[in-house]
Every structure is written in structure tokens, then in C-alpha cells.
Amino acid sequence: MENNKISVGLDIGTTKIVAMIGRKNEYGKAEILGIGKSKSLGVHRGVVNNITQTIQSIQQAVQEAEAEASLKIEDVTVGIAGQHIRSLQHSDYITRANSEVVIDEEDIDRLINQVHKLVMLPGEEIIHVLPQEYKIDGQAEIKEPIGMYGGRLEANFHVVVGQVSSIRNIGRCVKSSGLELEGITLEPLASANAVLSQEEKEAGVALIDIGGGTTDLAVFKDGIIRHTAVIPFGGNVVTEDIKEGCSIIEKQAELLKIKFGSAWPGENKDNEIVSIPGLRGREPKEITLKNLSKIIHARVVEIIEQVYVEIKNYGHEEQKKKLIAGIVLTGGGAQLKHLKQLVEYITGMDTRIGYPNEHLAGGSDDDIASPLFATAVGLVMDGLKRQERKRIEKEVEEMSNVAVDVSEENTIEEDVEEIVEAPKKERKSFLDKLTERVKDFLDNAE
């Protein structure tokens, strides 16, 4: 099988690292060929804090995926998240020299590049600049300004900011694992692509991805991402609390959470008890399920309330910004029993659990369509999209070359010009530029 047709997503999480190999089938859906996962050592709250351990974990996950798909992995699309990610709203404008020429890509690039000159805190860098809507000469709510006339072009932007050293560390881990960095994507965006339908993004929806170390939020309305946030708590703090509250070791706490945990304390009767083997030579411990769910409940409420504050920051309470499709929960933490009911109770918004099967080929393994793998599936899809773009750009270039060769005969030339116009070159997204910058940095730093 040709390697240029497959794409590999690498989700470097706090609890697990997942490598997923996928390709597009003839229906345009993603078909997963192999998957590998390893325990993530050396990542804390979404940020790499031990390079050597992270490299080992990446290699282990990649080898597993390679064995299952019997393919060699070369390039990967990697996700970035972590507590250093924050977002802000910003509006900016440019004045055009000649308002009798229609607005084109270059004007928009000029406007976006201007946003990149914003002064950030030391060590921070702009990762994403997402235009929301445009204004031309004071006329508001313009979705697509290209081709229109006007002198002053302004736009509101959603700007995502992160620590450049954290991003470079991830690049370093990937490179030292013997892989090429094909692309970098913001994890909340990747999960959203895997889990949400276009209708939900139009109606307005908040995607909450509860991971081990962090909880990511992405808010969409009218098909555009409006707000992103990373909250530095996830499933691990729940496990921590159980460990402390019941005086047991972490492994047991994690098992308790998965097997018996519930986010709703009213569910359990007082007499339901789990017995946990004591450490060497000690008595077993008895834990009531009611207590267990009280501990979980307290911490989960805290996480959801913080997320809800962010949803309110976006402006959900204004009529025009209302999220009609409510909330979608994904990530490993979304598997907690009765979580959906609790979220609905706290926020008053419709809630569903998001499975990454929106774009997966039919007949995919049920395991892959688990909320655990939402980010990995999203990264695979992102890689496939990136390849598609590169292919189109290549075709455009080849066609332009053809146009030059046959310019002697006028009749052919006219036809060719039409062909060359057809595929439209997409604007390089900022993440592509970021990927290139990280690559250059790593190459020069060796």
C-alpha cells in the first residue's frame, strides 16, 4: 500500500499515548488500519516534563500500531493541548490602498499577519488565528470577503496562544522517536472534528473533552469555532481524590473509579460495599459505594463548573450566541456513569456522549469508536486533510507547468487557463506555518 495515502495521528496525553494509522476509503471515510497505545510517563497535565520517558512511550505506541497495520510509520500529525493554552478575542483592521480592486487572499493574509504582531507574555506564541466574521467599510456580518469591494477591511479574531517551549518539546520528542512531524493540531479542534456533526457546529455546541490531566473545551456556533479553553484538571484528580479519601493505592483507585464509580451519589444504597485487598499482610479495606460516588461527585462538579464558567465567558447566555445543540462530552473521562445527567443538571444544557464515529468507515472496531480515542481519530483525519491539500497544490503547480509548455498554440492555451484556475489553492493555515517553524527550529538546534 502506498504510504502517501495513510496518515498517522499521535495523541500525546497525560495518561496514555495513542498512535493511530488510518486512510481514506472509497467513500471518503477514515478507515483505521492499526492502533497502538502505551502508558504515558513523562507528561503532566498535557505538558511534556520528561523527554526520555515520553520518547519511550511514543516508540512503544508506534511499534504496536505498526505491528497491527504491518506498515512502517514515518510522519505523524501530533496534537497539542496542556494547561498553557489560552485564547483571547481580538479585532483588527487594514486600510487598502486601492478600493477599486476587489479584496483577495493577500488582503486577508495581511490582516491575519497583523494579528500575529500582537504582544504576548514572555515565552508565549500565537498558535492559531481564526477569523470569526469580517466587516467591510463598516458593513458587518460578512462571512467571505473575497471578491468584494471596500477600503477598510476589519475582522474579529479568535486567537489561541500557547507556550512555545512546550510545543518545541513535543516536536523534539517526536523527532527523537525517529518520526517526522507532518503537522501540529490543537487537540480540542481534533476531537471536535472527530465527534461533532456539521449541524451541531452550525446550531451551536460546546465540546468538552475530559482527558487524564486536562479538560479541553471548544465552542462552535454558525459553523465557526468561537472559543477554546484548557482546564488543568481531568480524570486523574478524581483518581487522586479516591486514593486519598479511601487510603488505597492509585491502581486500586483507578479500578474503583472505572468499575464502580458514578457521578451521582443518590444512585447507591448505603449497604453496597466493595472490599479491597490490603497491602501485604494487612486487612482488606471496605469502601461503601455511596462514599465513593460522593468523592467522585465533589470533584466532577468542580470540573464541570469551571467548564461552565468558560461557556458563559463565550457568551452562551446572550440570545444570539445560544448553543442550541448543547454539550457533547468526549475523552476517557466521559465514560463515567451518570456524568451526562450531572452535566445537564449543572448547566441546564442538553448533553450527549460523543463517539468519534462521525467520519469512521462502517464496520470499524467498536473499541476505536470509544470516546477515549476521539483525539487520535481527529488527528488522523487532520493528517488526511493535510495530504489532500498538498496533493491539490501539487496538481495546481503541475498544471501551471503544463500551461507554460503549450503556450505556442493559442487555442490550447485558453483551455489550459481554465484548467489551471479550477483547483483553488487553500490558504496555508497557521498550524502549517507553526509546524514548519518547529521543524526549522529542531533542525537548526541539533
CATH number at residue 274: 3.30.420.40
Cα 151 to Cα 56, 100, 130, 355, distances in angstroms: 55, 8, 22, 46
How far from 336 is each of 112, 263, 312, CA to CA, in Å? 41, 7, 24
Q: What is the pLDDT of residues 171-181, one digit of tens each?
A: 999 999 999 99
CB 328 within 8 A of CB 351: yes
- Residue 120 or residue 430, greater confidence: 120
Residue 359 belongs to a domain: no
pLDDT band with cut points at 50, 70 and 90 for residue 405: low
Give the whole-angstrom CA distance, residue 138 versus residue 365: 52
Closest CA to 381 of 68, 54, 25: 25
Extract the C-alpha cell encoding 409.
498554440
Question: Which one-letter amino acid corresponds to residue 192?
Answer: A
Residue 278 domain-assigned?
Answer: yes
The amino acid present at 255, given as its one-letter code, is L
Residue 197: inside a domain, yes or no? no
How much is the average pLDDT of 72-99? 90
Do 5 and 32 contact (CB within 8 A), yes or no? no
Counting the structural domains of the chain, the total is 1
239-272 confidence digits (pLDDT tens): 999 999 999 999 999 999 999 999 998 766 778 8
Strand order in the sheet with 180-186: 30-39, 16-24, 6-12, 75-80, 180-186
Determine what percent of the chain is predicted with pLDDT higher than 90: 60
Residue 415 placed within a domain: no
CB 362 within 8 A of CB 177: no
- Asked if the structure places residue 412 within a domain, the reply is no
Report the pLDDT averaged over residues 305-321.
92
Cα-flanking dihedrals φ and ψ of residue 143, to 5°? -85, -40
Residue 40 has pLDDT above 80, yes or no: yes
Q: Which residue range is the domain that position 259 belongs to? A: 206-352
**Average pLDDT score over residue span 422-432:** 62
Contacts 24+ apart (CB under 8 A), 432-439: 432/183, 432/386, 434/127, 434/167, 434/184, 435/181, 435/182, 435/183, 435/184, 438/167, 438/168, 438/171, 438/181, 438/184, 439/171, 439/181
Q: Which three cell numbers stand for residue 326?
A: 448543547
Return d(Cα 85, Cα 279) in angstroms, integer. Answer: 40
Collapsed DSSP state (helix, strand, coil) of residue 271:
coil
Angle ∠(57,61,67) on CA atoms, nearest 5: 145
